[in-house]
Structure 1
Amino acid sequence: MKTLTLHQPGHFEFADVPFDPTLANGHALVRVVCIGICGTDLHAYRGNQPFFTYPRVLGHELAVEVLALQGDPYGLKVGDFCAVEPYLDCGECQACRRGLTNCCEKLRVLGVHTDGGMVEYLKIPTGKLHPSNRLKKEQLALVETLAIGGHAVERAELKPDDLVLVVGAGPIGLSVVEFVKRSGATLVVADRDENRLRFCREKMGVGHTLLAADDSTQALRDMLQGDLPTVVFDATGNPNSMMKCFDYCAHGGKLVFVGLFQGDVSFHDPTFHRKELTLLASRNATSHTFRTIINAIENGRMDTTPWITHRVVFDALPDCFPTLLKPESGVIKAIVEMPVLSGSVAE
């Protein structure tokens, strides 16, 4: 089986790896058809992805085709095309027993904690496959990215009269933007890159954007008629940005950390208490969010057209990958297209 492995930062290598197609009960054999390139993959390539070990097969934003099934198929059929929920939970810990599988105590994410989808074939638990034979294959590969933002917005419990600030207009921030728009709340997007802000305005219909500075508090008040955001989402994973967001929240507001970094967050406790802020973390997503997104795209309530800015064929990925790191490339979301395979899985 053709496999692309990141052996160390900056070094991909193809290899022909033996693959056993034998399935355990409750699993499916799938063919990978599209892979979305995530910020996690870019950070891993640079060597600054937290909680990451090498060598690793990347790829967790996946569209797949079901080739075989064993045991309870959750309604799946051979030939179904599916989005993959790449969060492999234990099903037994306290979080899992409460239905919070996205923050399982023993969670393994494909392409991060265990090898992922930059391969021809995978074996996946059937409960982690979300079928749609109406979506394009590349749309299925977008579902996981969108689910990150969808879950974060669910955590915030937005209301139409909320004033919302999204800090960071990378793919994860844009996934948050997508769901904030659907809530009807007033939205401001802040970023240090004017090109990303232009994308928000021209492609995503965002009416208020802010070129972020070291302190944007007064600029926010000017934009919001003297008020501050009632909900702030930080999608940067940058410690300075995350800690500054405490200042941007209105009294009685909420702060949601979508991005993360390997370190400590500190804040001024009297300010935190005086404002009576609610601090929330958002991790991954749930099966419910995946199904909600697929239904919204199928029924035309969510437009994925602006998202995909770059397409790469699998064989060219090692050579093309460094260009995806460059800001001047204008990448929002790159999709890797897998070749159509012939012959048996075991070949």
Structure 2
Amino acid sequence: MRAIVCEQIDQLRLVEQEEPVLQPGTAVVRIRRIGICGTDLHAYKGNQPFFSYPRVLGHELAGIVEQADDPAGNIRPGDQVSIIPYMHCGVCIACRYGKTNCCTAMQVLGVHIDGGMREKIVVPVTHLLVVSGLTLDQAAVLEPLSIGAHAVRRSELREGETVLVIGSGPIGLGVMAFAKHRGARVIAMDIQEERLAFCRKWARVDETVNALQGAKERLAELTDGEFPTVVFDATGNARSMTDAFGLVAHGGKLVYVGLVKADLTFNDPEFHKREMTLMGSRNATIEDFAAVQEALRSGSIDVDSFITHRSSFSEMISRYDSWLRPESKVIKAMVEL
């Protein structure tokens, strides 16, 4: 069985591995689609927290069940599935309160344990979603879109609120799409005009702001000096995440969706003056996956234009470096098997 291993920084290698063996309560899934995530790219460049080498990357996964041992009978051979890659313990304080997305012993496929950048993988049946009504592409992007849906749900965003989403990568775009779905007025911020144009076209945002061109003044103008009541930062950039504190309305919320391998500081008097709420948003839960499935089935999210680059499994290593270059204009790269 073929697999691609990130052996160290800037090094991917195609290797042969043994076929996975079915265990009680698991299924063997033949991988058909692998979405390339910012986490995969950061790990490749040595910028991913909680990561060690060597590692099989890949956690945005869709495939077909080949073998299954499911006592409940929900997962059967031949099922088309999406994989929930967050392996939670089920007994810690977070899991007991339904926050399986931030389990104290979290093991994420492709980060803490080997992921799905291989021809087959064995997964607990509890972490498989039968998605027969979706395409393989839709099933593979279910996970990154669920991260955006989770951030919006966590923010308790209300219809009519003005929100700012900083960063227009796949996660930021997902946040924009689900904020719009909730009836918010959405402002997108990025440093690239082409990215902002994509936000207008794909996520149907109401306004865009170039972060390098008087962003704070422009936001004040767009909000009558009040600023957005919810700000989502999906950049994973320490400077952006720090500056975001100054872009939140009094009584508003700042939600960190992106993750940076650094310490962050903020001005406490400004924080208290605004009585701001600071939130972290990590991964997603089964409720978020269900919400995204519904949105995909309704046709309200266009996956075809979301996926901008494609590769076969055998060609992926040769194309990987190019996806890191800004001039490649990658939104979402998809590997096909």
* TM-score where L is the length of structure 1: 0.94
The percent of aligned pairs where both chains have the same amino acid is: 47
Aligned equivalents of 1:73 and 1:103: distance in 2? Answer: 26
Aligned equivalents of 2:91 and 2:34: distance in 1? Answer: 30
What does 1:66-145 correspond to in 2, within 5 Å? Answer: 66-73=65-72, 75-145=74-144
**Who is 1:226 aligned against?**
225
SS at 1:306 equivalent: helix
**Who is 1:345 aligned against?**
none
**Who is 1:40 aligned against?**
39
Aligned equivalents of 2:203 and 2:300: distance in 1? Answer: 14
**Who is 1:189 aligned against?**
188
SS at 1:315 equivalent: coil
Aligned equivalents of 2:301 and 2:137: distance in 1? Answer: 14
Rate the CA distance shift 1:245–1:212 in 2: closer, same or farther, 3 A: same
- Which runs of 5 or more residues in structure 2 are unaligned? none
Say which is worse superposed, 298-307 or 252-261, in terms of deviation. 298-307
**Who is 2:287 aligned against?**
288
Aligned length: 337
Contact 2:30–2:66 at 8 Å: present in 1 too?
yes
CA RMSD of aligned residues (A): 1.3
Shift of 1:163: 0.9
State the 4+ residue runs in structure 1 displaced beyond 3 angstroms: none
**Who is 2:49 aligned against?**
50
Shift of 1:8: 1.1
What does 1:259-338 correspond to in 2, within 5 Å? Answer: 259-338=258-337
Aligned equivalents of 1:293 and 1:228: distance in 2? Answer: 29
**Who is 2:8 aligned against?**
8
* Residues 1:26 and 2:11 are matched in the alignment: no
Say which is worse superposed, 254-263 or 287-296, in terms of deviation. 287-296
Amino acid paired to 1:254: K
Amino acid paired to 1:210: V
Aligned equivalents of 2:72 and 2:63: distance in 1? Answer: 15
Shift of 1:319: 0.3
Aligned equivalents of 2:279 and 2:48: distance in 1? Answer: 22
What does 1:248-259 correspond to in 2, within 5 Å? Answer: 248-259=247-258
Amino acid paired to 1:3: A
Contact 2:202–2:302 at 8 Å: present in 1 too?
no
Aligned equivalents of 1:241 and 1:329: distance in 2? Answer: 23
Contact 1:28–1:69 at 8 Å: present in 2 too?
yes
Shift of 1:159: 0.9
Contact 2:47–2:261 at 8 Å: present in 1 too?
no
Say which is worse superposed, 303-312 or 69-78, in terms of deviation. 69-78
Shift of 1:227: 2.3
Amino acid paired to 2:98: G
Shift of 1:134: 1.7
Aligned equivalents of 2:69 and 2:283: distance in 1? Answer: 27
Aligned equivalents of 2:7 and 2:132: distance in 1? Answer: 35
Rate the CA distance shift 1:202–1:299 in 2: closer, same or farther, 3 A: closer
* Residues 1:149 and 2:139 are matched in the alignment: no
Contact 1:26–1:73 at 8 Å: present in 2 too?
no
Shift of 1:214: 7.9
Shift of 1:182: 0.3
Contact 2:28–2:123 at 8 Å: present in 1 too?
yes
Rate the CA distance shift 1:74–1:185 in 2: closer, same or farther, 3 A: farther
Shift of 1:226: 2.7
* Residues 1:240 and 2:239 are matched in the alignment: yes
Shift of 1:216: 2.3
Shift of 1:262: 1.9
Say which is worse superposed, 73-82 or 126-135, in terms of deviation. 73-82
Amino acid paired to 2:155: A
Aligned equivalents of 2:151 and 2:20: distance in 1? Answer: 37
SS at 1:29 equivalent: strand
Shift of 1:246: 0.9
Aligned equivalents of 2:296 and 2:72: distance in 1? Answer: 24
Contact 1:89–1:101 at 8 Å: present in 2 too?
yes
Contact 1:89–1:96 at 8 Å: present in 2 too?
yes
Aligned equivalents of 1:39 and 1:229: distance in 2? Answer: 26
Shift of 1:73: 4.4
Encode CA deviations 1:229-257: one digit per residue, 9 max, x unaligned.
00000001111111111110000000000
Say which is worse superposed, 172-181 or 203-212, in terms of deviation. 203-212
Encode CA deviations 1:35-74: one digit per residue, 9 max, x unaligned.
0000011111112212211111000000011111113246
SS at 1:305 equivalent: helix
Amino acid paired to 1:46: K
Contact 1:72–1:126 at 8 Å: present in 2 too?
no
- Which runs of 5 or more residues in structure 1 are unaligned? 339-347
